[in-house]
Amino acid sequence: MPRRSRILTSIAVLAVAGLAVAWGMSAPHPLTAAEIPAHQPDIANGKVLFNAAGCLSCHKPGPDLKNVDASLPAGGSPFKTPIGTFYPPNLTPDPETGIGKWTDLEFVNAVQRGISPEGENLIPAFPYTSYARMKTSDVLDIKAYLASLSPVVSPEKQAQIPAPWLLRRGVGLWKHIAFRTDQWQPDPGKPAEWNLGAYIANGPGHCNECHTPRNMFMAFDWSKQFAGGPHPGGEGKVPSLHDLIGRGKYKDASDLASAFQNGEMLGYEDMASGGMGEVQTNLSKLPDSDVQALADYISSLK
């Protein structure tokens, strides 16, 4: 073979190998049934976690479901992101348009690995990047709570995003560098209450999604955890959660807990805009002890 065509052949071989590696790396890696713990579901705990995780904020009934109870996650409401508009789907137990027929494994793979039952990568506008760090038993409790709700017929609406297929494979590559799936670990040196707050904030509460800045790969920059920065929605800024008491924003942890519970209603105005109003509404539905634990943890951030 002449020298030039040998070089061309090697380049072609390398390109194909590169594509094959990218193809393999962008494929979803779902959990297997053996990785799902045996668990007796607890619907009451599922309801608490559903509120802590704010599932309803995104999966609320859309404008064409006016007669549907607004507390049901029937889906179809537009959710705008910098890459396009999503219509987070129906989470009620309707067997055809909701998740009535989903297995535990399918549900855990969607919520903790960002993989749909059809085997596609989901876009991390759905904060599975935080839910991955939850206890899987808590995720199964959310499923049990959802199964206890009234079914609503609400067919899925296609997301308005460019090149969905390529984008979803791209998310597969991104997961290799930016997706952390180790479960949240308590700090044995801290009180149980602080650890509960840390779990709520870093797992279900997905506070990092907005309050922790990202690096050039769109991965959380843990060296600046909770330091605030540009809003992931593309507009405005998210404040830092460091030293809220020292900076005089709240008198003490109880004052912060009161802000989480009451928000603007009691004149706490720094929790209203940029999606924080919805987060605060969800937090107000939690048991007092959970809110106080969250406030203890957040007010300890230096």
> How far is Cα 293 from Cα 256, in angstroms, rounded to an integer?
11
Question: Whose Cβ is closer to ligand HEC: residue 74's or residue 122's?
Answer: 122
141 part of the interface to ligand HEC, by CB under 6 A: no
The angle formed by the CA atoms of residues 234, 109 and 216, to the nearest 5 degrees, is 30
Token reading at 43 = 């619907």
Q: Is 223 exposed, middle or buried, given 0-12, 13-18 or 19+ CB atoms closer than 10 A?
A: exposed
Judged by CB under 6 A, the number of residues near ligand HEC is 44
Binding mask 43-72 for ligand HEC (x = CB under 6 A): ----------xxx-xxx-------------
Which residue of this chain has its Cβ atom nearest to ligand HEC in the complex?
274
239 part of the interface to ligand HEC, by CB under 6 A: yes
- The least CB distance from residue 6 to ligand HEC, in Å, is 44
* Distance between start and end Cα atoms, the chain: 66
How far, in Å, are 111, 174, 177, 220, 236 from residue 108 at the CA level? 5, 20, 21, 22, 33
Question: Whose Cβ is closer to ligand HEC: residue 9's or residue 103's?
Answer: 103
Query: If we measure between CA atoms, which residue out of 250, 238, 247, 226 comes closest to residue 301?
Result: 226
Binding mask 99-128 for ligand HEC (x = CB under 6 A): -----------xx----x-----xx-xxx-
Beta carbons within 10 angstroms of residue 255's beta carbon: 15
With the C-alpha atoms ordered 49, 53, 59, 60, is the resulting torsion angle positive or negative? positive
293 part of the interface to ligand HEC, by CB under 6 A: no
211 part of the interface to ligand HEC, by CB under 6 A: yes
201 part of the interface to ligand HEC, by CB under 6 A: yes
205 part of the interface to ligand HEC, by CB under 6 A: yes
Which residues of this protein are in contact with ligand HEC, per CB under 6 A? 53-55, 57-59, 79, 86, 88-89, 91, 110-111, 116, 122-123, 125-127, 131, 142, 159, 201, 205-207, 209-211, 231, 238-239, 241, 249, 270-276, 279, 294, 298
